[in-house]
Amino acid sequence: PDLIDVWFDSGSMPYAQYHYPFENKDKFIGGKFPADFIAEGVDQTRGWFFTLHAIATMVFDSVAYKNVISNGLVLDKKGNKMSKRLGNGVDPFSTLEKYGPDATRWYMITNAQPWDNLKFNIEGIGEVQRKFFGTLYNTYSFFALYANIDGFTYSEEDIAFEDRPEIDRWILSELNSLIIKTKNAFENYEPTRAGRGIQSFVDEHLSNWYVRLSRRRFWKGDYTEDKISAYQTLYKCLTTVAQLASPIAPFFMDRLYQDLNSISHKDEATSVHLTDLYQADESQIDKKLEERMQMAQTLSSMILSLRKSSKNRVRQPLNKVMIPVKDEEMRSQLELIRDLILAETNVKTMEFITEDADILVKKIKPNFKTLGPKYGKLMKQIVAAVNQFKAEDIQKIEANGEYDLVIDGNKVKLSIEDVEITTQDIPGWAVATIGKLTVALDITLTPELLSEGLARELVNRIQNLRKDKGFDVVDKIEVKIIGNQQLKDSIEQNFDYICSETLAEQFSVVDQIEGEVEVLDLTNEVQTTISINKL
C-alpha cells in the first residue's frame, strides 16, 4: 500500500468525513465547506492549519476555512507552564466539582482572549461566582420575591416604551445596545468581549443602578402601571441576559430562563438554547440618555467616594453638593439627573457653579507615563510649560480635551490624558475631579442632619431584625425601644418616616421592655435596646 504523511489524513477531514468523492456528494457540495471556523493550538500552524488549506487549494482551488483561532496556553497564576514536576497544576475535575462548569468557563473566557495565554488563578473562579453569578441570582431572587407577592405573570399588555419612566427607558436602551454589541462580538469570534460586556451590564447597570434605584417601585404602593412597567422591564432584562450569556454559561442560564418562563409562559421553547435570538430594537436606543445616565453614575460614584474619605456613611444625610458646569448643555443634562443623584447619594441640594468660581482651586501636573513615550527629548520642556499653567490654561484643556504648545519650534498637542488635574479641598468641603467632572461636597453636619442620620440608622437596624426573624416583607410590626434623649428627639422628629419604612403600625419609646430584646449600636455614641414583634 502507498504510505503518506499522517497530516494528509487530518487535512482531508472536510472530505473524509463524508467519504467524498466516493459517496455523499450532495452532503459535501451542499454542506459546510469551507468551514466558518476552526480552533486548535499554536503548534498546529505547520500541521493541521496548513494541510487543510494546502489540500483544499490543490483540489478545489479554495480555502478550507474562513476563520481560525490559535488557542493560547493555560499557565499557572504566576505565568509559568503547569507541570507535575513543579506541582503547580490544577486538577480540572476537582475544580469543576467545587465551582461548576459555568463559573469555570466564564472565568476562563472573560479573563483572557482565547488566543492569549491565561494565567489561571482558581481564586478568580470564586470571584466570578460571587460578582457575576451571585449578583445575577440575587437580581432574579429580588424579582421573583415581589412578583410572587403581587402575582405578576406578565398577563398585562406591554407598557408602551414611551410611557415608561426614564429609568426603564434607560435600562432598555442599554439592553438593546448590549444585544448589538454581544451579537457582533460572537459573530466576530470574540467571546471575551461578549462575556465582559454582559458582566458589565449586570453589575454596573442592572443590579447596582437600575434595581437599586427602582427598589421602592417594587415594594411600595398598589399594583399600578408604574409597578407593572418595572416588572416588565426587569423581566425583559433577565430573559435577555439569560439568552445572551447562554453560549458561555449554558446550565445556569437555562435554569434562569426556565424559572422566568415558568412565571409568564411567554415562550413555548423548553430551553433557552431553543429560543430565537432576540433582535435589538434600535428605536429604543437613546445614546443621549445613556450618556446622561453615565454622567449620573460617575458623579454619584465621586460623591460616594468623598463620603467614604470624609468618614460620612451613606445613611447620614448631607446638605449640599456643588458641580461646576462648562455650558448650558451640561447644565440642562444635569438638571434632568439632579434628583436621581441626590437620592442615590443622600444629599439634600445640588448647586451649579461656573468653572471659574473662586471656591474651586485647581492644580495641574504632567503625566510622565504618557508624555515620555510620546515626546521623548521634548518632555522636559513640556513639563516646564505645564508647570506654568494658569487657571485659564487649565480651563481650556478641560473644556477642549487638548491644548496646543510650541516647544523649540515644534508644535505639540497635549491631550487631557497627558496631565493630571486635581482640586484643592476647601474648609468644610471635600472636592474631587475625574476628567471634565468636578464635585464639591459640603461635609458640615448640623444637628438636624445628625438627627435624620440617626433615624436612618435605626431604620436599617430594624430592617435587619425583620430579616433575621424571618418576617415577610409585607408583615406589619410592633416596635418598643429604649434610648437616650438624642435618640428620642430623632424618633420624634422622624416618626412618620421610621414607621413607614419599617411597616411599624405600633411604635413606642419606653423605659423598660419585657421579653426578648436586642441591644444595638446605632453610632459610636448612641446605643439602644429594642424589641420587635409581628402583629
| pLDDT one-digit tens code per residue, 228-243 | 999 999 999 999 999 9
Dihedral sign computed on CA atoms, order 40, 42, 47, 50: positive
70: buried, middle or exposed (CB in 10 Å: 19+, 13-18, 0-12)? middle
* Reported pTM: 0.80
Work out the angle between the directed axes of helices 485-493 and 495-502 (0-180°, nearest 10).
80
- The domain tally of the chain equals 5
Distances (CA, A) of 118 to 75, 82, 104, 132, 287: 6, 11, 13, 19, 35
In a domain, 443, yes or no: no
Same domain, 138 and 273: yes
Give Cβ neighbours of residue 511 (< 8 Å, ≥ 6 apart).
482
What is the 3-state secondary structure of 363-399? EEEECHHHHHHHHHHHHHHHHHHHHCCCHHHHHHHHH
Rounded CA-CA distance 130/435 in Å is 31
The CB density around residue 16, as the number of other CB atoms within 10 Å, is 12
Rounded CA-CA distance 219/229 in Å is 14
Please name the helix (run of DSSP H) or strand (run of DSSP E) that holds residue 325, with its range, or none.
strand 318-325
Instruction: Of 322, 318, 319, give the one whose Cα is nearest residue 353.
Output: 322
Same domain, 348 and 376: no
The pLDDT of residue 304: 96
* CATH code of 399's domain: 3.30.720.200
Same domain, 347 and 372: no
* CATH code of 529's domain: 3.30.2320
Same domain, 341 and 403: no
Concatenated DSSP letters for 273-286?
GGSPPPPP-GGG--
In a domain, 373, yes or no: yes
Please name the helix (run of DSSP H) or strand (run of DSSP E) that holds residue 509, with its range, or none.
strand 504-509
Same domain, 375 and 468: no
- Per the structure, the complete domain to which residue 461 belongs is given by 448-534
In this prediction, the residues of the chain whose per-residue pLDDT falls under 50 are none
In a domain, 96, yes or no: no
The CB density around residue 293, as the number of other CB atoms within 10 Å, is 24
Phi, psi (degrees; rounded to nearest 5) at 505: -85, -20
Rounded CA-CA distance 471/129 in Å is 28
Rounded CA-CA distance 274/253 in Å is 12
